[in-house]
Amino acid sequence: MDSEPDAGRAASAAEPQVTEGREVPAEIRALSTAADPDYVDFFVLTGGGAAHGTPEEWTRAAFEETFASPSARFLLGRVLRLRLRPRGAQGCVGGWRIAGRGEDWLRIEVEGPLMSVHIVVRTEEDRVSAATLIGYRRPPAARIWPPLSARHRGFMPKLLRKAHTELARSGR
């Protein structure tokens, strides 16, 4: 009977944890071509065999379906006026162009008249990180994005956990 609480603690210890930061480490910032972003955030998922899968697998598992949903396409395309590519377009994840990659990282980008958005996903031995870097191109972006950024910060941990679950199920 005493082993049941211990088993519960062991199971919860294996669950992935997501932490948020407003500072993007220099080595990850260097993977983006955004010279002086107006907005940045950084999320790290650790635990539960976090880094199983390639950076592209992580990016697709986290963002492909979400970015392709009608509500996301409306928000990204109509409200933020980002120029999304068609769903399933070659070299894209959810309409975002794969703009750079390395052995342990992938960068997706989307541009629009108001802003440029980069997301860098990096896999390391025991963790996966996602950084968002946004450069405002026109003054309305500075009014539109800040209220939406709270929603974005609420979604990112969920998307990383969803990707973890999906990749764990697929045996990655």
Pairing verdict, β 96-102 and 127-136: unpaired
Q: pLDDT by residue (tens digit) across 135-160?
A: 999 999 999 999 999 999 999 999 99
- What is the token pair recorded at 36? 């002086």
- Would you state the pLDDT for residue 4? 38
- Architecture of the domain spanning 21-169: 2-Layer Sandwich (3.30)
- Would you state the pLDDT for residue 162? 92
- Would you state the pLDDT for residue 67? 87
- Would you state the pLDDT for residue 170? 80
- List the pLDDT tens digit at each of the 172 positions of the chain: 333 333 333 334 467 899 998 789 999 999 999 889 999 999 999 987 666 789 999 999 999 988 888 899 999 999 999 999 988 889 999 999 999 999 999 999 999 999 999 999 999 988 999 999 999 999 999 999 999 999 999 999 999 999 999 998 886 5
Q: What is the pTM of this model?
A: 0.87
- Would you state the pLDDT for residue 3? 38
- Would you state the pLDDT for residue 13? 44
CA atoms of 156 and 118, how far apart (whole Å): 14
- Would you state the pLDDT for residue 88? 84
Which is nearest to 84 in space by CA: 68, 61, 71, 99? 68
CA atoms of 153 and 15, how far apart (whole Å): 20
Q: Does residue 91 sit in helix, strand or coil? A: coil
- Would you state the pLDDT for residue 153? 94
Q: Where are the domains of the chain?
A: 21-169
- Would you state the pLDDT for residue 24? 93
- Would you state the pLDDT for residue 49? 67
